[in-house]
């Protein structure tokens, strides 16, 4: 397949102030890499909204094409592992941070971070998952590597109506766990139950207590909130249970005691999805395409946009008004 001399991309500049928009680019304008793909799908994450509006310092150099996720077909490769026509995906790995990202009709990627699309997963499905689904899957992978099993008890998911957390509930259920949900949006109880949550708890209804150790309620947790919520979770997790810490929507501070760790053996596992090693990436995506594949991707994907309508999504997301996952048709 020939690559056109020019194609469209959403590019972010910082020349005298933030500006971003659709502009024509050529392949030579893109960061170097061994694999060129015709991008078909991307997604919108909170980091994308921060980068696209200039509200957050996400990009480390300028100009760059935005978008931390992308999926498409290979059109050219100097790496023998990839051939023209191969379906592939890439999430994180410096996209829209240190190199050009996925909001482009053609994307050039390093072979090391290009993942063959696993059997059982479509390109659009891969981007409904995107970084959010990968983060949720990586959380469970690391928890299980540290001894988490369904026998330890239910796993609670905080910030349950966020993209990572919605997918986490679905993934946990598919993996044989009883999933519970904590949310500030109790009007979405029925939706969370549809995803598999066996118990939905209003954030304001939680009685955490004050002691360093309270009655253990859950076998583990996937926490996207951080702050006081993460501190409170440490006090109510069963012995040798794991908390996957993957977000800071509620704050980056952490005030707790060592008692959950030295008396109950509770572990906090840091989930840094952007820089995950390739071997772990492949493990997560194989599971997401197979036994952990969420059963409700169509429901979780609530919006589909194009490059032209992409910028309209960012302000709503930053204001907390978005719900579910948004995919970008390229």
Nearest of 139, 91, 162 to residue 246 by alpha carbon: 139
Question: Could you tell me which residues come within 8 angstroms of residue 312 by beta carbon, excluding any fewer than 6 positions away?
Answer: 305
Q: Which CATH number fits domain 132-273: 3.30.2130.10, 3.30.420.60, 3.40.50.720, 1.10.40.50?
A: 3.40.50.720
* DSSP track, 247-294: --TTBS-----SHHHHTS--EEEE--GGG--HHHHHHHHHHHHTTT--
> Two tokens at 261?
């760790």
- Reported as type and span, the H/E element at residue 299 is helix 297-300
CATH node for 7-117+298-329: 3.90.180.10
* Res 290: pLDDT: 98
Q: In which residue ranges of the chain is pLDDT below 70?
A: 1
- The pTM assigned to this predicted structure is 0.97
Per-residue confidence (pLDDT) for residue 129, from 0 to 100: 98
pLDDT tens digit sequence for 267-314: 999 999 998 999 999 999 999 999 999 999 999 999 999 999 999 999
Q: How far apart are the first and last CA of the chain?
A: 17
Domain boundaries, the chain: 7-117+298-329, 132-273
CA dist., res. 330 & res. 323, Å (int): 21
Looking at residue 320, what is its pLDDT?
Answer: 86
The alpha carbon dihedral of 234, 237, 242, 243 has a sign of negative
pLDDT of res. 287: 98
Q: What pLDDT does 321 receive?
A: 87
Check: CB of residue 7 under 8 Å from CB of residue 24. Answer: yes
Residue 278, pLDDT score: 96
Helices (H), 98-176: 123-145, 163-174
> Under a CB-based contact definition with an 8 Å cutoff, are residues 65 and 100 in contact?
yes
């Amino acid at each position: 397949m020939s690559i056109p001399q020019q194609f469209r991309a959403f590019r972010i500049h910082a020349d005298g102030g933030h500006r971003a928009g659709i502009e024509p680019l050529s392949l030579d304008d893109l960061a170097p890499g061994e694999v060129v793909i015709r991008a078909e799908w991307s997604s919108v994450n909170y980091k994308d909204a921060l980068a696209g509006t200039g509200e957050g310092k996400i990009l480390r150099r300028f100009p760059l094409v935005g978008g931390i996720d992308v999926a498409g077909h290979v059109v050219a490769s100097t790496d023998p592992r990839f051939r023209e026509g191969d379906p592939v995906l890439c999430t994180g790995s410096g996209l829209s941070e240190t190199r050009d990202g996925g909001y482009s009709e053609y994307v050039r990627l390093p072979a090391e971070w290009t993942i063959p699309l696993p059997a059982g997963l479509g390109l659009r499905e891969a981007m409904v998952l995107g970084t959010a689904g990968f983060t949720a899957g990586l959380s469970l992978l690391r928890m299980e590597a540290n001894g988490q099993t369904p026998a330890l008890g239910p796993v609670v998911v905080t910030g349950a109506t966020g993209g990572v957390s919605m997918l986490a509930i679905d993934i946990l259920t598919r993996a044989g766990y009883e999933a519970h949900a904590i949310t500030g949006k109790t009007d979405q109880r029925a939706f969370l139950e549809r995803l598999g949550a066996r118990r939905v708890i209003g954030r304001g209804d939680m009685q955490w207590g004050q002691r360093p150790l309270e009655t253990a309620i859950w076998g583990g947790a996937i926490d996207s909130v951080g702050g006081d919520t993460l501190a409170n979770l440490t006090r109510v997790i069963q012995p040798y249970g794991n908390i996957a810490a993957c977000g800071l929507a509620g704050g980056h501070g952490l005030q707790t005691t060592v008692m959950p760790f030295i008396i109950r053996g509770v572990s906090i596992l840091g989930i840094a999805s952007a820089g995950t090693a390739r071997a772990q990436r492949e493990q997560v995506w194989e599971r997401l395409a197979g036994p952990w594949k969420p059963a409700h991707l169509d429901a979780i994907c609530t919006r589909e946009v194009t490059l032209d309508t992409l910028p309209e999504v960012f302000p709503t997301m930053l204001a907390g008004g978005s719900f579910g996952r948004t995919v970008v048709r390229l």
